Chain A
Amino acid sequence: MKKQGSDTNPAQAMPALPEPLKDLKIKYTKIFINNEWHDSVSGKKFAVFNPANEEKICEVEEGDKADVDKAVKAARKAFELGSTWRTMDASERGRLLNKLADLVERDRLILATMETIDGGKLFSTAYLMDLGACIKTLRYYAGWADKIHGRTVPMDGNFFTFTRHEPIGVCGQIIPWNFPLIMFTWKIAPALCCGNTVVVKPAEQTPLSALYMGSLIKEAGFPPGVVNIVPGFGPTAGAAISHHMDIDKVAFTGSTEVGKLIKEAAGKSNLKRVTLELGGKSPNIIFADADLDAAVEFAHIGLFYHQGQCCTAGSRIFVEEPIYDEFLRRSIERAKKYTLGDPLKPGVQQGPQIDKEQFKKILELIESGKKEGAKLECGGGPWGDKGYFIQPTVFSNVTDDMRIAKEEIFGPVQQIMKFKTIDEVIKRANNTTYGLAAAVFTKDIDKALTFAAALQAGTVWVNCYSAFSPQCAFGGFKMSGNGREMGEYGLHEYTEVKTVTIKIPQKNS
């Protein structure tokens, strides 16, 4: 097939990768309410660690119920009828989000370095991928702000009927540690674009970049109380949000286990709206007719990206029988190529897991794999003498009933399985409580479209993996979540539809 035109990407090229900052000063460690910094009401603090060397970075104010109450009051006030935020032009909300994107771009190096130190993320990944995605997400939703159209409705009778898409109100947003900044922008951008106010709880492992964003939000010119950020723990601050009687909506990204608690809390309290982005055990199906080089590489990145700490990780790789051995051989070879180490250093390809708890859980699941009869092809243990590093690990001869084929590992552990027929692999791929993502590799148009329809997952990739963009909706079938984030669909989760009907003397078409 002839490719027309040039091969160079016409879009703005990736920025050159600078060196990480040498002496990053952590300026923001307090609770952000009403565009001001507050100590915790209890006076408590908690320590934040660098997972690459287990050293303490700093202490952060520990918010709990009392601080959440304070934040909700501020958010409620900012949302009052007649407030600056409520009376602002929608296009001006968009301008503020664009301004925030400009500031993130300005401070890209600071934020990327922070993300690496706090989250163990490779610096190059943080700088190029995470920050790039943050900026694009903010700009994308900036553009939506004045394009969320209500409708006029041809109602029966002599009436004039229209809908208003109104913000829901105070939104509690609880975000995870694997993509601290991206998850922060995925949550605040659609919420603010629709005109809500938010109370965000960042993960206790990675609160620093979110707090830095607090300062940029203030600098961008968002009115006080529109965004409030309370660092703290799930059972205290998180629970206070999900149980709160004055929070209108809660959005959570994290484990399925905690997702259930959030939904239960919403049910027990004020029936707040709930959106959840939870775990996954995503199937990645490789047919014999696929481009093998591309399939091996995508399957590899689809699992090992960010130390395997992705909810979309392609953690069940189903390979068609005729190419199984070759695919396995190449996958092992690819996994063995890794350089582990300090994620700030150039050349390092894999950083540490986020914390000791995750580190132990992953090693425990690796053990279960060995015990249940999977074949350990490489890796399988810790790496180095400090930090939470785990060797890139590949299991073959995995069967569907093994724990490593059913449970989310959230680490650098790849499971490779064999299949024979289309019907069989569809059944096996769908035989899970999860339904976040899935992929199929094939050159056959019929197979590609059959799988696009048959797989029970919120995202299906064909001949690619982890292709994300702010334009595309993302979310889970089944126990991988409720609702969708990103794209136009993401706006629906942040608006109430109000139908207004006015009696008129006479209707005309």
Chain B
Amino acid sequence: MLRAVVRGSRLCPALLRAPFSAAAASPIPAPNPRPDIAYNKIFINNEWHDAISKKTFPTINPATGEVICQVAEGDKADVDKAVKAAKAAFQLGSPWRRMDASHRGKLLNRLADLIERDRAYLAALETLDNGKPYAISYLVDLDMVVKCLRYFAGWSDKFHGKTIPLDGDFFCYTRHEPVGVCGQIIPWNFPLLMQAWKLGPALATGNVVVMKVAEQTPLSALYVANLIKEAGFPPGVVNIIPGYGPTAGAAISSHMDVDKVAFTGSTEVGHLIQKAAAESNLKRVTLELGGKSPNIIMSDADMDWAVDQAHFALFFNQGQCCCAGSRTYVQEDIYNEFVERSVEKAKARVVGNPFDFKTEQGPQVDEEQFKKILGYISTGQREGAKLLCGGNPAADRGYFIQPTVFGDVQDNMTIAREEIFGPVMQILKFKTIEEVIERANDSKYGLAAAVFTKDLDKANFVSQSLRAGTVWVNCYDVFGAQAPFGGYKASGNGRELGEYGLEAYVEVKNVTIKIPQKNS
């Protein structure tokens, strides 16, 4: 059973669906729904700082709407301070630059050990600040965080340069050098996991980091900052600034001394980041942005499994996933049954207190998202989609929304084109494979896609035809640190995770040396 639970990182829907009433027998420790908040300041040079402006902002528990605590609000002045610290840590001859690559790996492994030690606390903090069910925080988010850090720990001394058979009497080789000061701006939907996705490859390859965490969910990242210090990373290698996009985020993306910026968030803000990079110092940019990912169910698919997975693909994490399967295309002959079963599943989804083991769905992250999602639901109804269940707030307080399913959705409706980022499922009907490929690709996004079929030819044909950075076949949301993730088109630039994820964090330097005589 322990093994099955550990496999939660596979986002196995069987697990997520399993009633946690058996929690007493499970290895998940009981949560503390009121974890102490130890860190709420700006982390620079392995020390805690107030904002230069002395400003603070409240962070809210989305399950109640109550303020958890005040957090120091970083802006341009604090970013400048952090960049200075990072630059100093990156100087030639610094401890960080001279450190053995294998030792960088050792530090990352040690950070993973510390997160594992404090796993229950971090899971509770994540749930408090973000609203995701504690069981998910503990089993899925924290497990993936630890695995991600360990994965990149292993890469630190294995990302090889090459020696190159250059024409002429030369010795030619490449060095994979760190890019330098990396600005990293991360979102609120998987606060700890996004932090690990960003830190893992950047630190494995020897960069220094100035990270801005989302204003909705700064707490877990700040706790990890303290673990970074405890693990033994030199001062200035990682600096973490809680703050807002238009101030702190903008300061990073337009900074003349930041060599690279990595952003995960909305496509709208992604445009601003890329523009700021262009207008400042042409810093390298990687973006992981929005999606409207198609999930194609062929009539020969295993129906039980497809219904399960399509539900999970959309509703996981309160629908707050950039890769959410938010356009479920179902082949005509099974459409009615699929819709009926999907509605049944959505109605059975347990919404409530995220610290309760029975809860499958917690609140949306904040009032703004909550309102935006309800707005999309009204638009869907107005534009003629058929509301089959849900559609309303699910509680008197907190930002809970009922699991919602729309049928008879048409491609031109707003809810079929825009990212809703909430528990709202769109089911569309298709007839032929050629038709569905064309419709699936008719989107400005290209983050993920999936196809469910037992037919080998269909699986291969569709997976090669879809314009998306990830294609799942007979599964959805299968993530692992080993597999790259990123978007085609307006879903992003570059890839994170896997060996590919390292490329964004190195400059390739070609060294050519004249030699007296070449021999093979």
Q: Which residues of A contact B (CB under 8 A)?
A: 3-6, 8-12, 90-91, 94-95, 98, 136, 139-140, 142-147, 149, 160, 445-446, 449-450, 452-454, 469-471, 488, 502, 504-508
Contact = CB atoms under 8 A, between A and B. Distances in A.
A502 B456 contact: yes
A471 B102 contact: yes
Given A454-B519, A488-B158, A6 B95 contact: yes
21 contacts: A4-B93, A5-B94, A5-B98, A10-B98, A10-B234, A91-B151, A91-B481, A139-B109, A140-B157, A143-B156, A144-B158, A145-B154, A146-B151, A146-B482, A147-B158, A147-B499, A449-B171, A449-B516, A454-B519, A502-B460, A504-B457
A334 B157 CA distance: 36
Interface residues on B, range: 35 or more
A424 to B, nearest CB: 16
A4 B499 contact: no
Contacts of B513: 445, 449
Interchain residue pairs A-B with the least CB separation, the first 5: A5-B93, A143-B154, A4-B93, A10-B95, A11-B103
Interface in B70-94: 91-94
B517 A12 contact: no
A94 B154 contact: yes
B100 interface: yes
A325 B100 CA distance: 38
Contacts of A470: 102, 157
A5 B91 contact: yes
B92 A5 contact: yes
A147 B97 contact: no
A140 B156 CA distance: 10
Given A5-B95, A143-B105, A143-B157, 8 more contacts: A4-B93, A6-B95, A11-B100, A94-B150, A98-B109, A471-B157, A471-B158, A488-B158
Contacts of B106: 12, 139
A396 B40 CA distance: 71
Interface string B146-159: 01001101111110
Contacts of A142: 154
Contact of A147 (B95, B103, B154): B154
Nearest to A453: B519
B234 A160 contact: no
Contacts of A91: 147, 150-151, 480-482
A471 B517 CA distance: 29
B155 A147 contact: yes
A418 to B, nearest CB: 24
A502 B458 CA distance: 12
A10 B99 contact: yes
Nearest to B147: A91
Interface in B409-464: 456-457, 460-461, 464
B160 interface: yes
A147 B92 contact: no
B96 interface: yes
Contact of A10 (B96, B150, B157, B499): B96
Contact of A136 (B93, B102, B457): B102
B1 interface: no
B336 interface: no
A505 B457 contact: yes
B499 A6 contact: no
